[in-house]
Amino acid sequence: MCFKNLPIEFDAAGNATLKPGAANPYSYIETPAPTPIEDDPERMRELFARNGAVRRVDFDPVTRVAGALAFHTVVDLENRQVLETASMATLFRGYEIILKGRDPRDAIFISSRACGVCGGVHATCSALACEMAFGIHPPPMGVVARNLLLSVEYLYDHPIHLSLLAGPDFSEPAVRETNPEIWERATRTRTTGRAKHGYEFMSELMTDLTPLTGKLYLEGLHYTRLAREAYVLIGGKYPHPQTVVPGGVSTTIDASDLNEIMLRVVKYFDYGRKTAAIWDDISDFFYEVNPRYREIGTRPKSMIEPGQWDDPYADEGTFKNCDDWGRRRWAPPGVIIDGELVTTSLQMLNAGVEEFVEHAFYEEWTGNGQNQRFATDPAGNPLSPYHPWNKETIPKPTATSWKEKYSWSTAPRWDRQAMETGAYSRIYAAALTGGADFRDSPYLNSTGHSMQIELPQAALPNDPIEWSIPETWGAFERNRARAYCILYTAAIAYDNLLIAYDLLRKGGPDAKMSTPYKVPKDHQIGVGLWGAGRGYLTHHLEMDKGVIENYQILTPSTWMASPKDPFGNPGPYEEAVMATPLLENYEKPEDFKGIDVLRAIRSFDPCMPCTTHLHMDDRTITREIISCACGSDGPHEH
Amino acid sequence: MRVLVCGVGYRFLRDNAVGVYITDTLALQASNGIEFEDLGYHPVGFTQNLEERPPYDRIVFVGAVDRGRPPATVKAYQYDHVLPDVTEVQERVGDSVTGSISLDNLIIVSEAFKALPDDVWIVEIEPADETWGEGFSPEIEAKLPEIMETVWSLTRP
């Protein structure tokens, strides 16, 4: 029984049904959000009188121009606590509306344009949704080609995050500025991973994380290039591929192409080992300096991951059999609640998803749970009126209010609980299975509490690498797990390359790249379930008369940047920042940089243009710092 | 002379898409030495692509940028290659790798990674409407021939 909040129970045969008796089983009574501190002058005065160090600090954590995310906090700088958070996505991009009435195949190319980085996986999710609706499935080589595309895409994503986005927060300039005592300690602390990464002292490693000039920063850039070079050999272009089509891939592959990809993939064997050792050293060093670094960005170990990398010999991609083919993927679907794997069933994963808009700039579309297009999914499992297949996107911009509506991101929930997702959720779920429920690989061994990865030797010794599920979960562990995912992903790419060579050698129908199809004219639905480099991604499609009736995209950062839900739960960013102690070294409030808050948010690998497909022109990073919110401005008008 | 004309922006964001519309349209007139590219992707990848190609004598960037000017203002100017401080450059890199596409980011990141030739021209168009959807505002629609001619003229020696 994987649900504790949804009105779903299971019969003796394991079939999901609605609990009997409730007339409106998915309805709920909204829990009012707490009154924001700045709207409560009495509390604000009391806090300010107590220590005078309460500040409203609004971050735009990762962007300068495009304004990916605004993040509101109220912090108590004396007690080093975050008192209030709100995560705000800032403008609506409307892909779901743009896609209505179009040929479903257009979604492959249009959804790719949501983002300047993750286009490849959007295109693939669209193709998968089309295939389910069209009743087709690619031949084995088409599946392998996609697996290769979406392993090298992740080999692009992980270095770019670790080196160019998260790494600079642990670099010499950042640490010197925010915690000079830690820098001083780094100059006399030896690393443990020197044999793999070559650094004797932590300070040397931190110096090479320096933005724009550090060797590790520039090396990360180089590895993003290798991955893109591999991608375009099949995809044609990156990040907006030209060859992803319903039924497979619209190009051919020969041994020369595979050799070119192989030459690049094997370079990640050593790079993966080295990167894992680097992030082991970073995490362990900070924990040793101050164990409270474990609390940066901490939140429950609750994660969702639809899985990826299909078994080429799973012979169909229907929804009815998705539990079977989902469990044959290299990375299994998984829902983890408080560290426990509660399901690897794609049907249950799908049935548990809902989106809420109480704190988002959208209109509620169900009439409090009364109206829904689909009472069940194609396999007969109950569906919520708030499920993506039942969702309607109705933008309704209003003034921003931290208590009412403040984001263009919806609040996705699974079993009405906030979930995070990322590269780490796939290695986490795979590790928890203990080897069950995912495709065997000679290079991966799941122990139930860790993932062992062993690849052929490159330049470094091929010692087995083991990522272990950590006791506590937070920003450092997200980064560490993502670092291990480089080698994990390289193993899957390598495995698929060997299968591709074999298919090529054998020839015949299995070596074809795509399968023919006709666009159906009757009513059909489909879903693409394939985690992006940055985590969960689904595209839910409804079509009729050959065109799209409804299309819903749910991205990783929508889950994580989400506002509060109607049950009073914060979104993952909000929750993680609330739990973050302010360990930065500042004497005066004016010196506060917010590095720990930024480390917490960046550890999620935010990809904000996908979240609401947003765009904002606010050029400020720290939008406002005021000494007391008693006199703060009112709601912002959009 | 090898010239690359780059259209920058998001499709489906009305006037923000004007840059890629211009390059889509002018690409039909591509000839020896003049290339057009849709730069609806991130600057880090663009700089790497440039490094792998034979050098261009000139690069022309065209895109919408909201700088508070009257809508449909068209400004063409030669880039001065002056970079902001390192902190801002890194912020622009961070912005880029989270998926954002913007003309300023593209030029700053490309310059920081030393990917640009000396001769770089920028054609900025002040948008009137950057909300979601297709098609341009009437102001931009009326200016399209002028923008097209401005960009095309910059492909000549």
Mean residue pLDDT of chain A comes to 89
The pLDDT, as a whole number, for residue A91 is 67
Query: Which member of A65, A113, A238 has the closest CB to residue B10?
Result: A113
pLDDT of res. A60: 58
Nearest CA in chain A to B10: A113
Residue A542 has pLDDT above 60, yes or no: yes
Q: Which residues of B touch A617 (CB under 8 A)?
A: 66, 130
CB contact under 8 A, B12 and A617: no
Reported ipTM: the value is 0.87
Contact residues, chain B, for A94 at CB < 8 Å:
12, 132-133
Q: Locate the chain A residue with the closest alpha carbon to B106.
A: A65
Q: Provide CB contacts within 8 A for B21, sequence distance 6+.
A: B7, B136, B144
| Closest CB from B10, B91, B132 relative to A64 | B91
Min Cα–Cα distance to chain B from A75, Å? 23
A contacts of B98 (beta carbons < 8 Å): 62-63, 68, 117, 165, 606-609
Q: CB within 8 A of B85, min separation 6: which ones?
A: none
Q: Give the C-alpha distances (Å, rounded to integers) separating A65 from A131, A624, B96.
A: 38, 16, 10
3-state secondary structure A544-605: ECCEEEEEEEECHHHHHCCCCCCCCCCCHHHHHHHCCCCCCCCCCHHHCCCHHHHHHHHCCC
pLDDT along chain B (157 residues), means of 10: 94 91 92 89 87 94 96 97 92 79 91 96 96 91 96 93
> Would you say residue A164 has pLDDT above 80?
yes
pLDDT tens for A492-511 read 999 999 999 999 999 999 99
Report d(CA A292, CA A297) in Å as an integer: 11
- Structure-token match 């300023």, residue found: B104
Mutate to test the interface with B, among A93, A98, A117, A611 (most CBs of B within 10 A): A117
B98 to A225: CB separation less than 8 angstroms, yes or no: no
Q: Which of A116, A606, A610 is facing B41, going by the closest CB pair? A: A116
Cβ contact (<8 Å) for B99 and A65?
no
Query: Encoding tokens for residue A276?
Result: 């894992």
B32 within 8 A of B88, measured Cβ to Cβ: no
When pLDDT is cut at 50, 70 and 90, the band that residue A394 belongs to is very high
Q: In this structure, are strands B3-8 and B34-39 parallel, antiparallel, or unpaired?
A: parallel
Q: Burial-class residue B118 by CB neighbours within 10 Å (0-12, 13-18, 19+).
A: exposed
Please answer yes or no on whether B44 and A224 come within 8 Å at the CB atom: yes
What average pLDDT score do residues A195-213 get?
A: 97
Judging contacts by C-beta atoms under 8 Å, the chain A residues touching residue B11 are 110, 113
Tell me which of B98, B113, B131 to substitute to probe the interface with A (most A C-beta atoms closer than 10 Å). B98
Q: Is the pLDDT assigned to residue A632 strictly greater than 60?
A: no
Q: Taking CB atoms and an 8 Å limit, are B41 and A607 in contact across chains?
A: no
Mutation target among A62, A65, A229 for the B interface, most CBs of B within 10 A: A65
Region for A594 from its dihedrals, namely left if φ exceeds 0, alpha if ψ lies in -120 to 50, beta otherwise? left
Nearest-angstrom CA–CA distance, A608 and A558:
8
Distance from CA of A610 to the nearest CA of B (A): 8
pLDDT at A629 over 60: no
Distance from CA of B66 to the nearest CA of A (A): 7
CB-closest option in B10, B45, B90 to A228: B45
CB burial of residue A520 (10 Å; 0-12, 13-18, 19+): middle
Q: Which residues in chain A have Cβ-Cβ distances shorter than 8 Å to B91?
A: 63-64, 621
Interface residue ranges in chain B relative to chain A, Cβ cutoff 8 Å: 10-13, 16, 40-42, 44-45, 48, 66, 86, 88-102, 104-105, 112-113, 130-134
Q: Do B133 and A98 touch (CB under 8 A)?
A: yes
DSSP state, A70? Answer: E
At residue A131, the pLDDT reads 97
Min distance A442 CA to chain B CA atoms (Å): 33
Q: When comparing pLDDT for A207 and A160, which is higher?
A: A207
Q: Is A347 within 8 Å of A325 (Cβ atoms)?
A: no
CA dihedral A584, A589, A594, A597 (to 10 degrees): 90
- Name the more confident of A14 and A207: A207
Residue A312, classed as helix, strand or coil, is: coil
What's the average model confidence in pLDDT over A609-634?
Answer: 30
Helices vs strands, H then E, count in chain A: 20, 19
CA dist., res. B124 & res. B118, Å (int): 19
Dist CA A161 CA A341 (whole Å): 27
Q: Which amino acid is at A505?
A: R
The pLDDT of residue A322 is 96
Is residue A269 classed as helix, strand or coil in its secondary structure?
A: helix
Q: How far apart are CA A359 and CA A571, in angstroms?
A: 11
With CB atoms and an 8 Å threshold, state whether A621 touches B91. yes
Name the pLDDT band for A116 (thresholds 50, 70, 90): low
Grade residue A64 by pLDDT with cuts at 50, 70 and 90. very low
Between A354 and A631, where is the model more confident? A354
The rounded distance, in Å, linking the Cα atoms of A559 and A573 is 9
Interchain contact, A165 vs B97, CB within 8 Å: yes
Cα separation values, A531 from A135, A161, A168, A205, Å: 22, 17, 26, 32
Q: What pLDDT is stored for residue A68 in this prediction? A: 58
Q: Which residues in chain A are closer than 8 Å to B104, comparing Cβ atoms? A: 65
Instruction: Considering only the beta carbons, identify the residue of A610, A615, A621 that sits closest to B10.
Output: A615
A62 CA to chain B: closest CA distance, Å?
A: 6
Contact call for B112 and A212, based on CB within 8 A: yes
Residue-wise over A29-63: b if at least 16 C-beta within 10 A, else e? eeeebeebbbbeeebbeebbeeeebbbbbbbbbbb
pLDDT tens track for A552-602: 999 998 999 999 999 999 999 999 999 999 999 998 888 888 899 989 988
Residues A212-234 have pLDDT tens digits of: 999 999 999 999 999 999 999 99
Contact A606, A562 (CB under 8 A): no
Helix (H) or strand (E) holding A280: helix A267-289
Q: Are residues A238 and B45, on separate chains, in Cβ contact within 8 Å?
A: yes
Compute, in degrees rounded to 10, the torsion defined by CA atoms A428, A432, A438, A440: 100
Torsion of CA A139, A144, A149, A150, to 10 degrees: 100
Please give the C-alpha separations between residue A74 and each of A178, A294, A411, A487, in angstroms, as whole numbers.
19, 22, 22, 39
Question: Over chain B, what HEC string results?
Answer: CCEEEEEECCCCEHHHHHHHHHHHHHHHHCECCEEEEEECCCHHHHHHHHHHCCCCCEEEEEEECCCCCCCCCEEEEECCCCCCCHHHHHHHHHHHHCCCCCHHHHHHHHHHCCCCCCEEEEEEECCCCCCCECCCCHHHHHHHHHHHHHHHHCCCC
Sign of the torsion formed by the C-alpha atoms of A597, A600, A605 and A607: negative
Contact A239 B91 (CB under 8 A): no
Calculate Rg over the CA atoms of chain A.
24
Beta-carbon pairs below 8 A across chains A and B: 124
What H or E segment, with its residue span, contains residue A55?
Answer: strand A54-59
